[in-house]
Structure 1
Amino acid sequence: MYAIWKLCWSNLNNKKVQNSFMAIIIMLSALLLSTAILVINNTNQVYESMHAKVHGAHQILRLENGIHDPNQVQQWWAEQQGVAASEMMRYRYLSSLSHAGEEIPNVDLFMMDTPNGPFSVDQLLFVQGEERHAPKPGTVWIPTSLAYSKDIEVGDPIEFKTDKETFSLQVAALVVDISYCSPFATSGRIWLNGQDYSTHMASLQGNDMYMTGLRFDEYSQNHAYWESFEKFLGTPYLESVKDYESISSYYMIANQVISFIMGFLAVIMISVALHTLGFTISDGILSSYKTIGIIKSVGLSSRRVISAYVMQYTLLAMVSVIPGILLSYFFSNQIVSRSMAYLYTGGSEMKVHASAIAIGVGVAVIVIAVIFLTALLFSYKARGVEPAQAIRYGMSEKDSLRKSSRGSAWRKKLLKLDSLPMEMIIGLRGVTKNTGGSALIMLISALSTAVLVFGFLFVYSISSIHETIAKWGYDSADLSVRIDNPAKLSYEEFHKEVLLDQRVKNYSRYGDANGVLPINKGLAGEPEQDTLGILLTVAEGNYDEIGYENMKGRNPISSLEISIGVNVASSLDLKVGDLLDIYIAGEKHTLTVTGIYQAIANMSYTGRITADVIREVDPDYGATMNTIFINLQDGVSIDEFVNELHHKYGRAIWTASQATLVDEVFSQAVTILILPMSVMALLFIVITFVIIYSICRINMKKESRTYGIYKSIGMTSRQIRVSVTVGILVVSATGALIGVPLGFIGLPPLLNIILADYGIVEVPLIMKGGGITVMIPLSILTAGLGSWFASRSVQTTSPRILTVE
C-alpha cells in the first residue's frame, strides 16, 4: 500500500499545474450540476412552503357573467369535507393606475371589496405597513409584484381612473398575495375598504363580479369534487377557473429554464471533464511508459500501478467537489432570491434545508463515482506495459514503428506546404502529430462556441422580444388605445376622428371572454363530463392585420370558426378542421378549428374568436370593446402619433406603443436571466482556457526535445510559441465554426421541451448576426491564450536537452 501511495503522491506532486486545472474542471462541473438541482428544488420548496403557510388557493372561481348564483356556489363548496372555501368576494375590473403622475401601462386590476380578515384561503402576508383586518377608508393594500416592479412604497398616493372619475387612495400596506403576486403578472388584486368600494366601484356600469378561493386537503382529488359540484349545478360550470398549475406557473418558469440550461451544460461540462481526464491519464501513461516498465520489472503489479492512478484522481475529485458544492448554495440562493423576490416578507434569507444538504452530498457522490470509474477505465492501459519494450523504446514496439512511419509520411506532406510561413508549418505539424489532443481542443471549442452563441441568442431574444412578440401569442400592432371615458369620447367619435386618419394603416377592436370546453373522458355509453376553461380573445376586425400568428392553419374570420392554443389542442387532441363544442356566456357553440398557435399567456389555454360569435348571444357586446389595436403607415412616427392623441383627448383615453407594453411584461425576465446566463458563459470560457492550457502543457512536455532541436537551428522561443499558438488557433477556429450552427440549431429544441408546458413549443429566437460574430472569436481567443500561456515553458528549454539522446 505504501508503494501505491508513494506513486500516487509523486504524480500529484510532479504535475501540480495539470492536477490543479483538472481540479478546477471537476469543481465547476459540480458547481453547475448542484446549482441546477438546488435552484429547481428550492424554487419548489420556497413556493410550496409559502403556499402552505398562507393556505394558498388551489383553484380560484371567478363568477363574472351572472350564469351561476355566487352564494349558491360558495355555500356548496363551504359544506364539502376536505375543502376550505373563502368568502365570496365581490370586485370590479379597472385597467388604469397612475403613480407619481405617470400612468402605468398594461395592468389589469381586481378592485376587491376586502372582507374582514383573517382569510381562510389566500391569507395576506404584510411586508410593509400596519397589519389590520381591513384597509382604513382612503387607503389600499397592493401586492408586492405591483409595488416592487413599479417602485411604489407605503404612504404613496396612487390614482385610479374609471369611466366616470379619477380618484386617489393612499398605499397603506404591501402584501404577499400568493395567487396574484407572481413575476411577469399583469394582473393583481387591489384591496379596498368597503366604504371606498361602495363610493367608487359600486356606482360603475354593469354588475359586481365575484371570486372565491378553494383549497383542497388533497388537490389530486379535486376532479371527484367537481363531478359532484356539476351534478349539483345540473350543468357544467360555465364561468372562469384559475387552477393551481396556472397560479404557480409564472413562479416556476424562469427557474425551470435556468435549471434546465444549467443542468444540460453541467452534463456537457462533466462529459468534457471526463474526456479530458481520460486523455490526461492515457497521455500520462504514455509519457511515463519507461518509468512504469521499470517499476513493473522490479515487482510492482499492474493492479497496483492502476490503483495509483485511480487513487490520484479520486482524491482530486474529493478535494475539488466540496468547494463546488459550497459555492452552489450561494449561487442558487442568489437565483432563487431574485426570481422569488415577490414572496420575500422581510425575514431571514433563504436557508439551506436538509434536503438541499442531501442534494449536495448526492451530487458529490455521483461526481466522485463517475471520476473513479473513468480513472479506472483509462488507467487499465497500464496493464499492457511490457517492461522490456518500455525500457528499450519508451513505448510499445508497435507504437514505435507507427511513430516512425507517421514521421516519414509527415515529412513528405511537409514538403508540399513549403509556401506557408515556417511558424504555420510547425504549428500544423504539432496539430497533426497530437491528434487526440487536437480533437479534444476542437470539441471544447465547438461546445464553448455553441454555449456562447445560444446564451447570447436567448438573452438577446428575450430582451428584444418585441421583434418576435407575435410568435409568443400576442399581437404585433404599433400601438394600443383604450377608451377610458366613453361618456366623453365614444368609439364612433374615435373611429371618425382617428381611425379614418390617412396615417392609420389598419385597426381592429378587441375584447375578451371566458370559454368552457366540455371534455368527454368516459367510454362510449358511459360519459364522464369534465370541463376546461380557456381565455378567449375576441376581435372585431382582422387578426392577421394586427399580427396574430398561427403555427398551423389560420385565424378565424367568421362566427363559426375558432383558433386555439397548442395546449388546448393537445389536451383535447384537436387538429385544424375539427369541430369544437364550447360554452361562451352560458351558451353552447359548435365551432370549426381553423388554426393552432402557441402563446405564453395563460399557458396557451386560450382561443381566438370573432365578435360575431358573442353577438349571437349578446347583441350589445361591442359596446364593451374599448381597446383598439392600430398599425400606422410606414414612415409615421409612433411617438408623435401617441403624443398627438394624448394632447387631443387627454385622460379620456389611454395609449401605449407595443414596445412599451412588451417591456412592461418581459423586462423582469431579462433581469432574472442575465446573472445565471452570464456566469454560465464565463464558466465555459474558463473551462476552455483550463482544458486547452492543460492539453498544451502535456504536448509541450512531450515535444520538449523537438523544440530543443528548433532552438539549436536558430529559432527563437517567441517563434516557437507563435507556431504552437497558430496551430491551436486553426484547430479552435475549426471547432468554433462547427459550434455556431450547433448553438442556434442544436440547443434550442432542448429548451422547447421545458417551455412546451408553458405554451411555447418553438422558442422564437432572433438571429443577430453581429452578436453571433462577436461570440465566435471568444472561444478562439481563449484557446489562443491558453496555448500561449502553456508555451512559456519553451523559454526554459535548452538545446542541451538533445544530449539526453
Structure 2
Amino acid sequence: MYAVWKLCWSNLIIKKVQNSFIAIIIMLSTFLLTTAVLVINNTNRVYEDMHAKTHGAHQILRLENGIHDPGQVHQWWAAQEGVRASDMMRYRYLSSMSHAGEEIPNVDLFMMNTPQGPYSVDKLLFVQGEERKAPEPGTAWIPTSLAYSNDIKVGDPIEFKTDKGTFQLRVAAVVIDISYCSPFATSGRIWMNDQDYDTHMSPLHGGDMYMIGLRFDDYSQHRAYWEGFARALGGPYLESVKDFESISSYYMIANRIISFIMVFLAVVMISVALYTLGFTISDAILSSYRTIGIIKSIGLTSRKVVSVYVSQYTLIALMSVLPGIGLSFFFSNQIVNSSMAYLNTGTDRNVQFLELAIWVGAVVIAVIFLSALLFSYKAHSVQPAQAIRYGMSEKKGSRALGMESTWKKKLLKLGSLPIEMVIGLRGIRKNARGSVLILVISALCTAVLVFGFIFVYSISSIHGTIGKWGYDSSDLSIRIDNPAVLSYDQLREDVLTDVRVKNYSRYGDANAVLPLNQELSAGKNQDTMGILLTVAEGNYDEIGYENIKGRNPLNDQEISVGVNIARSLNIDLGDPVDIYIEGVKHTLTVTGIYQAIANMAYTGRITAEVIQEGSRDDESVMNTVFINLQDGVSIEGFVNELHLRYGSAIGTASQAALVDEVFSQAVMILILPMSIMILLFLIITFVIIYSISRINMKKESRTYGIYKSIGMTSRQIRMSVTAGIFVISTLGALVGIPLGLTGLPPLLNFILADYGIVKVPLIMNGAGVAAMFPLSIMAACIGCWLASRSVRTTSPRILTME
C-alpha cells in the first residue's frame, strides 16, 4: 500500500499544473450543480416558510359580478372544518397611482377596506412602519412589490385617480402581502382605513366587490370541499378564483429558469471533465508505459497500478468538491435574495446549507472515482517485456509507424501552406483525441455564449417581441379616469379620428368559468376552471396580439385560448367550448391558440359583441383604448398633447413603459447568473486547452527540439502549435453557433411550458452573435500560447534528449 501512495503522491507533485486544472474543472462543475440545487430548494423553502408564517391563502375568491351572494359564500366556507376563511373584505378597482408627481404605469389596484386584525388568512408582515390593527385615517399600507420597485417609503404621499377626482394618502407601512407581492405582477392590494374607504371609494360608480381568502389544512383535499360547495350553491361557482399555483408561480419562475440552465450546463461541464479525465489518464499511461512495465516486472500488480490513478484523481475530486460547494453557498444566496426580495423582512436571510448539497458533492466524487477506475483499467494490458522494449504495445508501435508514413505522404500535398500551419495541422492529426476534445469544448463554449447572449438580449429587448408573450404591441394606451369630464364617444370624436392615429381598439377584461367534463375534472381535481378573458372592440391583429396557431376571434361566436387552456381541455382549432362569462353561458368556437406569460396562459380572447350579449354594460368592461400612430409621429409628443388637453381625466402610458414595468426585474435577476455561467465556460475552455497543450508539448518535446536545432525559433514553434489550435477551435465555434441558436432554446421551452410559454420568443442579433464567435477561439489560443512557454526557455539539446 505504501508503494501505491508513494506513486500517487509523486504524480500529484510532478504534474502540479495539470492536476490543478483538473481540480478547477471539477470544482466549477460542482459549483454549478450545487448552486442549482440550492437555488431550487431554498426558493421553495423561503416561499413555503413565508406562506406558512403568514397563513397564506391557497385560494382567493373574488365576487365581483353579483352572481352569488357574498354573505352566503363566506358563511359556507367559514363553517367548514379543515378550512380557514378570511373576513369578507370589501374592495374596489383602481388603475391609477402616482408617486412624487409621476404616475406609475401598468398597475391594477385592489383598494381594500381593511378589516380589523388579527388575520386568520394572509397575515400582513410589517417591513417598514408601525404595526397596527388597521391604518389610521389618511394613511394606507402598500405591498413590498409596489414600494420596492417604485422607491416608495414610509411617510411618502401617494395619489390615486378616480372618476370623481383625485385623493392622497400617506404611506404608513410597507407590508409583505404574500398573495399579492410577487415579482413581475402588476396587481397589488392597497389597505385603506374604513373611513377613507367610505369617503373615497364607496361613492364611485358600481357596487362593492368582495374578496375571501381560503386556507386548507390539507390543500390536496380541496376538491371534496368544492363539490360540497357546488351542491350548496345548486350549481357551479361562476365567479373568479385565484388558485395556489397561480399565486406562487411568479415567485418561482425566474429561479426555475436559472436553475434549469445551471443543471444543464453543469451536466455538460461534468461530461467534459470526465472526457478530459479519460484523456489525461490515457495519456499518463501511454507516457509512462515503460515505467509501468518496469514497476510490474518487479512485482507490483495491475490492480495496484490502477489504484494509483484512482487514488490520485479521487483525492483531487475530494479537494475540489468542497470549495465548489462553499462557493455555491455564496452565489446561490445572491440569486435567492434577488428573486425573493419582495419577501425580505429586513433581517438577513441566508441560504440553508442543505444535506442535499453534500450529497451532490458525494455524487460528483463517486462519478470521478468510477471514471478514473474505468479509464485507468487499460493499465491491466501493459505487458512488461513489450513496455520495456518498445515503450508501448508492439501492436500500437506498428500502427504508429504506419500512420506516420501515411501522414508524411499527406504533408507533401500541403507544401503551398506556411510551414507553421503545416506543423500545426500535423499536431492536430497526430493528437486526434485531444483535437476532438478541443473541438467539442470550443463548440459547447460558443453555444453557451451565443445562447446566453441571445436569451438576455431577448429579455432586455422584449418590447420587440411582446406580442409573442401574450401582450399587445400598440404604441400607447389611454385610460379614461373621469367619464364625467371625458366620455369614450367624445374621445373617439376628438382624438381617435385624428389623422395621426393609424388604428385603435377599445379593450377590457372579464372573468369566465369553463366547466370540465368528468374525465378532465378528475385530472384537475376540480369541476370548473376560472380564467381571465381579454375583451376587444376592434381588430386584435392591429393592436399586436399574436397566436402560435390559428387566428384571433372576429365575431361573437369565436374565441382564442391560451396554450394551457387548450392543453387542459384537450381542445384544438375548430372545437366548440362551453363557457360562462360573468354568469351567462356561451358556446364559442376556438379559432386560435396563443402563448402568454400572464396568468400562465389560463386566459382567453373574445370580441366585445360577446359581452354586449350578457347582462353587464360593456362600458364597465371596456375601460382602455390601445392606439397605434402613423409612422414618424412622436409618441411622447402625442401623449403630452393629450395631457395638456384633458389633464387628469385620462391616464396614458407608452407600450415601452408598460413592458419595462413588468420585465425590468427579470433582466436584473437573470443578468448576473447568465454572465457568471458564460465566464465559467470561458475559463473551462482556457483551462482544458491549456492542459491538453501542455500534455502535447511534453509528448512532442523531441520533435520541437529537432525543429529548433534546424533553425526554427521558439516563436515560430509556438505559432505553429497555436495555429493548429486556432484551426480546430474555429471549426468548433462554427459548430457551436447553430447549436446555441437552435439546440439550446428547446430546453428553455421545456421549462417554461408550464408557465404558458411553449416557444420562447428569441431575438436574433447578428452583431452580438458575431461578437460571441471569437471569444472561445481567443480563450483556446491564449491557453495554447501560454502552455507552449516551455519551448522558449528550453535548449534544443535538452528537448531532443527528452
Instruction: Tell me if TM exceeds 0.5.
Output: yes
Residue 196 (structure 1) shift = 0.3
C-alpha separation in 2, matches of 1:322 and 1:293: 36
Deviations 1:596-618 (A, max 9, x none): 10000000000000111111113
The answer (yes or no) to whether the contact 1:522–1:528 under 8 Å persists in 2 is no
Which AA in structure 2 matches 1:694? S
Number of the residue aligned with 1:632: 629
The answer (yes or no) to whether the contact 1:514–1:533 under 8 Å persists in 2 is yes
> CA RMSD of the aligned region, Å?
1.3
Q: Determine which of 507, 526, 544 is the counterpart of 1:547.
A: 544
The answer (yes or no) to whether the contact 2:561–2:603 under 8 Å persists in 1 is yes
C-alpha separation in 2, matches of 1:796 and 1:624: 81
- Residues 483-502 of structure 1 mapped to structure 2, 5 A cutoff: 483-502=480-499
C-alpha separation in 2, matches of 1:358 and 1:523: 39
C-alpha separation in 1, matches of 2:794 and 2:708: 8
The answer (yes or no) to whether the contact 2:111–2:192 under 8 Å persists in 1 is yes
The answer (yes or no) to whether the contact 2:24–2:320 under 8 Å persists in 1 is yes
- Give the count of matched residue pairs: 800
C-alpha separation in 2, matches of 1:586 and 1:624: 15
Matched, 1:520 2:514: no
The answer (yes or no) to whether the contact 1:122–1:213 under 8 Å persists in 2 is yes
Residue 528 (structure 1) shift = 10
Number of the residue aligned with 2:426: 429
Which AA in structure 2 matches 1:407? E
Matched, 1:33 2:30: no
**Cα distance change of structure 1 residues 647 and 336 upon mapping to structure 2, 3 Å threshold:** same
Deviations 1:346-379 (A, max 9, x none): 1232242xxx431121011100000000000000
Deviations 1:305-358 (A, max 9, x none): 000000000000011000000111111111000000100101232242xxx431
The answer (yes or no) to whether the contact 1:183–1:250 under 8 Å persists in 2 is yes
Q: What SS class does the counterpart of residue 204 from structure 1 fall into?
A: coil
C-alpha separation in 1, matches of 2:626 and 2:324: 51
C-alpha separation in 2, matches of 1:307 and 1:111: 71
Which AA in structure 2 matches 1:303? R
Q: Determine which of 693, 696, 699 is the counterpart of 1:699.
A: 696
C-alpha separation in 2, matches of 1:691 and 1:620: 69
C-alpha separation in 2, matches of 1:227 and 1:267: 46
The answer (yes or no) to whether the contact 1:704–1:797 under 8 Å persists in 2 is no
User: Does 388-397 or 743-752 show the bigger shift?
Assistant: 388-397
Number of the residue aligned with 1:77: 77
Deviations 1:168-192 (A, max 9, x none): 1100000000000100010000000
**Cα distance change of structure 1 residues 458 and 447 upon mapping to structure 2, 3 Å threshold:** same
Matched, 1:242 2:221: no
- Residues 592-741 of structure 1 mapped to structure 2, 5 A cutoff: 592-618=589-615, 620-622=617-619, 624-741=621-738
Residue 798 (structure 1) shift = 1.9
Q: What SS class does the counterpart of residue 137 from structure 1 fall into?
A: coil
**Cα distance change of structure 1 residues 802 and 201 upon mapping to structure 2, 3 Å threshold:** closer
Which AA in structure 2 matches 1:442? L
Residue 406 (structure 1) shift = 1.4
C-alpha separation in 1, matches of 2:148 and 2:526: 43
Number of the residue aligned with 1:375: 372
The answer (yes or no) to whether the contact 1:521–1:528 under 8 Å persists in 2 is no
Q: What SS class does the counterpart of residue 788 from structure 2 fall into?
A: helix
**Cα distance change of structure 1 residues 666 and 411 upon mapping to structure 2, 3 Å threshold:** same
- Residues 209-358 of structure 1 mapped to structure 2, 5 A cutoff: 209-352=209-352, 356-358=353-355
Residue 404 (structure 1) shift = 1.2
The answer (yes or no) to whether the contact 1:707–1:797 under 8 Å persists in 2 is no
Residue 796 (structure 1) shift = 2.5
The answer (yes or no) to whether the contact 1:508–1:542 under 8 Å persists in 2 is yes
**Cα distance change of structure 1 residues 619 and 58 upon mapping to structure 2, 3 Å threshold:** closer
C-alpha separation in 1, matches of 2:225 and 2:189: 27
Number of the residue aligned with 1:99: 99
The answer (yes or no) to whether the contact 1:566–1:597 under 8 Å persists in 2 is yes
C-alpha separation in 2, matches of 1:573 and 1:454: 33
Which AA in structure 1 matches 2:195? Q
**Cα distance change of structure 1 residues 92 and 98 upon mapping to structure 2, 3 Å threshold:** same
The answer (yes or no) to whether the contact 2:509–2:621 under 8 Å persists in 1 is no
- Residues 364-443 of structure 1 mapped to structure 2, 5 A cutoff: 364-443=361-440
Residue 619 (structure 1) shift = 6.4
TM-score normalised by length of structure 2: 0.99
**Cα distance change of structure 1 residues 123 and 215 upon mapping to structure 2, 3 Å threshold:** same
Deviations 1:388-422 (A, max 9, x none): 11112111111111111111111111111111111
Number of the residue aligned with 2:785: 788
Q: Determine which of 530, 533, 543 is the counterpart of 1:533.
A: 530
Residue 38 (structure 1) shift = 0.6
User: Does 422-431 or 108-117 show the bigger shift?
Assistant: 422-431
The answer (yes or no) to whether the contact 1:521–1:529 under 8 Å persists in 2 is no
C-alpha separation in 2, matches of 1:350 and 1:618: 53
C-alpha separation in 2, matches of 1:163 and 1:787: 71
The answer (yes or no) to whether the contact 2:226–2:526 under 8 Å persists in 1 is no
Residue 797 (structure 1) shift = 2.6
C-alpha separation in 1, matches of 2:318 and 2:11: 16
C-alpha separation in 1, matches of 2:610 and 2:171: 41
Which AA in structure 2 matches 1:381? K
C-alpha separation in 1, matches of 2:429 and 2:273: 23
The answer (yes or no) to whether the contact 2:701–2:799 under 8 Å persists in 1 is no
Which AA in structure 2 matches 1:653? I
Residue 620 (structure 1) shift = 2.7
C-alpha separation in 2, matches of 1:107 and 1:393: 79
C-alpha separation in 2, matches of 1:182 and 1:314: 44
Deviations 1:59-101 (A, max 9, x none): 0000000100111101100000000000010000000000001
Q: Determine which of 769, 773, 782 is the counterpart of 2:766.
A: 769
Number of the residue aligned with 2:504: 507
Q: What SS class does the counterpart of residue 152 from structure 1 fall into?
A: coil
C-alpha separation in 1, matches of 2:584 and 2:185: 30
Q: Determine which of 420, 445, 448 is the counterpart of 1:448.
A: 445
Deviations 1:741-796 (A, max 9, x none): 11010111011111001000001100111111111111010001100110111113
Which AA in structure 2 matches 1:747? L
Number of the residue aligned with 2:184: 184
C-alpha separation in 2, matches of 1:802 and 1:492: 91
C-alpha separation in 2, matches of 1:188 and 1:803: 77
Percentage of identical aligned residues: 75
User: Does 648-657 or 179-188 show the bigger shift?
Assistant: 648-657
The answer (yes or no) to whether the contact 1:603–1:759 under 8 Å persists in 2 is yes
C-alpha separation in 2, matches of 1:154 and 1:408: 83
Residue 624 (structure 1) shift = 4.2
The answer (yes or no) to whether the contact 2:145–2:342 under 8 Å persists in 1 is yes
Q: What SS class does the counterpart of residue 546 from structure 1 fall into?
A: coil
C-alpha separation in 2, matches of 1:358 and 1:219: 27
Residue 802 (structure 1) shift = 6.0
Residue 299 (structure 1) shift = 1.1
The answer (yes or no) to whether the contact 2:705–2:800 under 8 Å persists in 1 is no
Which AA in structure 1 matches 2:31? L
Which AA in structure 2 matches 1:674? I
C-alpha separation in 1, matches of 2:778 and 2:238: 62
Number of the residue aligned with 1:66: 66
Residue 428 (structure 1) shift = 1.0
Structure 1 stretches of 5 or more lacking a match?
A: none
Q: What SS class does the counterpart of residue 387 from structure 2 fall into?
A: helix
Number of the residue aligned with 1:556: 553
Q: What SS class does the counterpart of residue 686 from structure 1 fall into?
A: helix
The answer (yes or no) to whether the contact 2:143–2:176 under 8 Å persists in 1 is yes
TM-score normalised by length of structure 1: 0.98
